[in-house]
Amino acid sequence: MSGAMSLAGAGTLFRKEVMRFWKVAFQTVAAPVLTAVMYLLIFGHVLANRVEVFPGVGYTSFLIPGLVMMSVLQNAFANSSSSLIQSKITGNVVFLLVTPLSHWAWFTAYVGAAIVRGLVVGGAVMLITVWFAPLQLAEPLWVLIFAALGAGMLGTMGLIAGLWAEKFDQLAAFSNFIILPMTMLSGVFYSVKSLPPVWQAASHLNPFFYMIDGFRRGFFGVSDASPWLSLAVVGLSFVVVAGVALRLLVTGYKLRS
């Protein structure tokens, strides 16, 4: 019975989290899409005829998957982190603490809703930007795998950040000094093979690089790293951050104190 109650509660919390961002879709979906389009217009216009990363692939076409995945990652993180910190600051989290929800229910609801928002924004970016340059789906399974794994990992990181932060300034610091640099230095706008050897080595320590590279592999059939290596790195990274998040939820870190 308790398992059924927890499952029902997880479903209810998941729907609440999805509706939370969907009711303000102009801010949570339309605004990130506009940002991605602006990146495409500026970088694509400046570098379209000057850079060819992969043979036969124009720079604008190369850029689109990176922007889509960047939008997925950033919005998945924003959804879980902003929801939790708002609940903590306003005191609404107490209504969740008095329910019989298990730590798995919390994790599933928050991360699941983050995945939904990330994929919705990424899909919207794809639908709009694909009009600017031709794209193909050479290996579509990689697109689905890395989009889902990437959104799940960043949704989990957002959950950790929301648990850790006690005010919006701390959450902004987590985003600005960890998430944003790792995203921008992951190969969204360039191939890491164009970097000096030292920075290539540094890029290969960044799990975000493998998310972007594996996702891009699904479109062009070529990548800077093996997609299986990327899958292993991203999968292991997700397991690690999920373990951390679940441990924090079990102990009630900064929730019950």
* The one-letter amino acid at 137: L
pLDDT value at position 208?
A: 97
Reduce the DSSP state of residue 9 to 3 states and report it. Answer: helix
Q: Where are the beta strands (DSSP E) in the chain?
A: none
Residue 54 has pLDDT above 80, yes or no: no
User: What is the Cα–Cα distance from 257 to 255, expressed in whole angstroms?
Assistant: 6
- pLDDT tens profile 179-227: 999 998 898 988 888 888 888 888 899 999 999 999 999 999 999 899 9
Q: How far is CA 80 from the centre of its chain?
A: 10
pLDDT value at position 29?
A: 96
- pLDDT tens profile 13-39: 999 999 999 999 999 999 999 999 999
For the chain, give every domain's residue range.
2-251
In 3D space, the residue among 217, 238, 32 whose CA is nearest the CA of residue 149 turns out to be 238
Matching residue, tokens 């899958």: 231
Residue 58 has pLDDT above 60, yes or no: yes
User: What is the Cα–Cα distance from 159 to 104, expressed in whole angstroms?
Assistant: 13
pLDDT value at position 103?
A: 92
